[in-house]
Chains A and B, each alone.
Chain A
Amino acid sequence: MLLSVEHIRKSYRESAGTLEVLRDVNLEIETGKMIAITGESGCGKSTLLHILGLLDQPDGGKIVYEGKELRTGDRRIAQFRNRKIGFVFQFHYLLEDFTAHENVVIPALIGGMNRKDANKRGLELMRMLEVEQRADHYPNQLSGGELQRIAIARAIINQPAIVFADEPTGNLDPRHSDEVVNLIVRLNREIGQTFVIVTHNLGIAQRMHRHYVLTDGTLVLQP
């Protein structure tokens, strides 16, 4: 088992009281699988994804990676996240002052890869994702589809065990949305990349290996 979470709980304190977003979430993710999580707006999908991606700390429950329990507050968690986890967000969140290629190589450099190797790997990925010709362009010179492709390249440059994608097509038109989903499926097929995708789009969810719905703070597997 690559990653499993058990009895995850998360609530937020608000002026009106405590809002319990995640009540009892259990999930197992095997290597090479694509998992979709859907649910109503505000049901806690992004919160769950952040907890799975070790960006946020649950109030209770366990996160186990390859048999070892992880805690978000651990000092070396940043290093773990850099090596094992990739993120794609609804908005590309590319650094505006950096070119597409520079954006792609940043996680590799954070991880300590030397510049020459990072640049080479970045260009290889961009070639694979068919955005190589846009390497020297800045984010504001790229289309929505290209931006998400660059964001996906950035997410996988360190060859992470899992990529968490939070509404990766939420900001795209249907044509670009299809392009991005096709790319995710292709990466899973060609390099065995594991994906956990949060989406509103049931069409996308149906193309994944497993589909969960987050409802009332728990995950329900869809047939």
Chain B
Amino acid sequence: MINMGKFVNYYIEREFLSRRRLSGKMDSLYMFSGIIISVAALMTAFALFTGYENALKNVILGVNSHCYIFRFGNTDITGADLNEIKDFFKDRPEIEALDAAISAQAMAVHGKKTKGITLRGIDSANENLPTEYHRYVKEGRSRLENDREAVIGVKLMRELGLSIGDTLKVISPLHSRITPMGLKQKTARFRIAGVYESGMYEYDSAYLIMNLEAAAQFTLNPQEFSWVEVKLGDAFIDDADILASRWEDELNEHMRAEMSEYPGSFRIVSWVFYNGNLFTLITLEKWILFIIMSFMVLIASFNVVSGILTSILERKRDIGILKAYGATSGMIKRIFLGRALFMSAVAVLIGEVLGYLLGQLLYHQTIYRLKGDVYFLEKLNVSYSVEVWAMVFAVAMLIVLVTALFPLRKIESMNVTEILRNSPGK
């Protein structure tokens, strides 16, 4: 039995080591330049989308907690509810942190500038909050020392022309009252103690964060909270939806059993409920883009097809001689395929490195920024996981392999006697 591998490996190895083939190798690089460029584009696009997806997920899960516990209807969570909820979640391994929060809409006024804001009340002294609040306070202090201090979103601060140490007036139209003396506005003044910068436009341009007590006083509901926030362990984040659904039933049963006066049902909603559609859309777009960009690699691989075909025709005489000496069409095909795949692999790797460098350039550049109010994030993010490298490499190589098989069929139909008869000697 003829051993295909020995001869094919020898032939390819000698050809690549041959000093005479240097110019041919350079020609091949030109031939594979399309692959290099298209793979670089594919790599960059995929890394940008993956980076955007990851960054958005990180920010959303950093700014928000993983689950929210509400009361049904227009009722806030009371201090008694909070104690029972804490009791219910006490020994659950999925839970990393749990705390109450207040959220309300208000108006911020500084000088002649006015802006609608989201007022958040949290326990700033708690180091183990259900959100990444402490991590996102980039300037000043995250821990608020009294009820007259607040942390402000970086965009909001810039829009209102504030800086750390300035005082900001906040008005709550919802909690204003009509008195015999006229409309009595609910107002409060807060000194800016820190700057909150999550990278997510929606929050950075609206958040004013204060202590729970301050927020409760401002919203006229002392000892009441908007919701309870729950942070899950990393291993449970993707299962948040399932856990929320299960806990909702169990919590309501627990409340019925433990509280003398059942306050009404509770609802638990996970981050997936709020953002699931957004991430589904991003993932869908990412893969559509990947497929579209893969077509560029397919088009570039036509260059390889014509290159192989040219190479076959140029080496017709060599093919004839090899066949005369017993090489099968399969052996010769493997020589051409092996060479094309080796060169393609080099081209794909060069393309990937080029794509990586391009991605790094986009990540570090400061000229172009995303529109934060449209894309949530302003900075371009890139993500290069091993999966991205492997996926791009595998898809590009598969495309080249499939397209390279077509010109190789020509070898089968090449007749030795015709080749020898028509080949001039040297």
Does any Cβ of A come within 8 Å of B15's Cβ?
Answer: yes
Does any Cβ of B come within 8 Å of A50's Cβ?
Answer: yes
Q: Are A81 and B1 in contact (CB-based, < 8 A)?
A: no
**Set A55, A83, A115: member contacting B10, Cβ < 8 A:** A115
**Set B320, B327, B421: member contacting A78, Cβ < 8 A:** B327
Given contacts A91-B425, A109-B10, A139-B426, contact A78 B416 (CB under 8 A): no
**Set A50, A107, A139: member contacting B326, Cβ < 8 A:** A107
Q: Are B6 and A82 in contact (CB-based, < 8 A)?
A: no
User: Could you say which of A59-67, A92-100, A184-192 contacts chain B?
Assistant: A92-100
**Set B6, B20, B318, B426: member contacting A114, Cβ < 8 A:** B6
Q: Are B425 and A92 in contact (CB-based, < 8 A)?
A: yes
Interface of B is mostly: helix
Which residues on the B side are within 8 Å of A107 (C-beta)? 325-326
> Contact mask B191-228 → A, CB, 8 Å, 1/0?
00000000000000000000000000000000000000
Q: Are A82 and B423 in contact (CB-based, < 8 A)?
A: no
A residues 71-124 in Cβ contact with B at 8 Å: 78-83, 87, 89-93, 95-98, 102, 106-107, 109-115
Smallest Cβ distance from B13 to chain A, in angstroms?
Answer: 10
Does any Cβ of B come within 8 Å of A215's Cβ?
Answer: no
Name the residue on B nearest A75 (C-beta). B328
Which residues on the B side are within 8 Å of A110 (C-beta)? 2, 7, 322, 325-327, 331
Interface size on A, residues (CB 8 A): 37
Does any Cβ of A come within 8 Å of B317's Cβ?
Answer: yes
Q: Are A78 and B2 in contact (CB-based, < 8 A)?
A: yes
Q: Are B420 and A89 in contact (CB-based, < 8 A)?
A: yes
Smallest Cβ distance from A114 to chain B, in angstroms?
Answer: 7
> Can you add 12 more A-B contacts, CB < 8 Å, to A79-B1, A93-B420?
A50-B420, A56-B416, A79-B2, A82-B2, A82-B326, A91-B424, A92-B425, A93-B423, A95-B318, A96-B318, A102-B14, A111-B2
Nearest 4 A-B pairs (CB), nearest first? Answer: A82-B326, A91-B425, A112-B3, A107-B325
Can you list 7 A-B contacts with CB-CB less than 8 angstroms, sorted by A residue number?
Answer: A55-B417, A82-B325, A87-B324, A97-B21, A106-B325, A107-B326, A112-B1
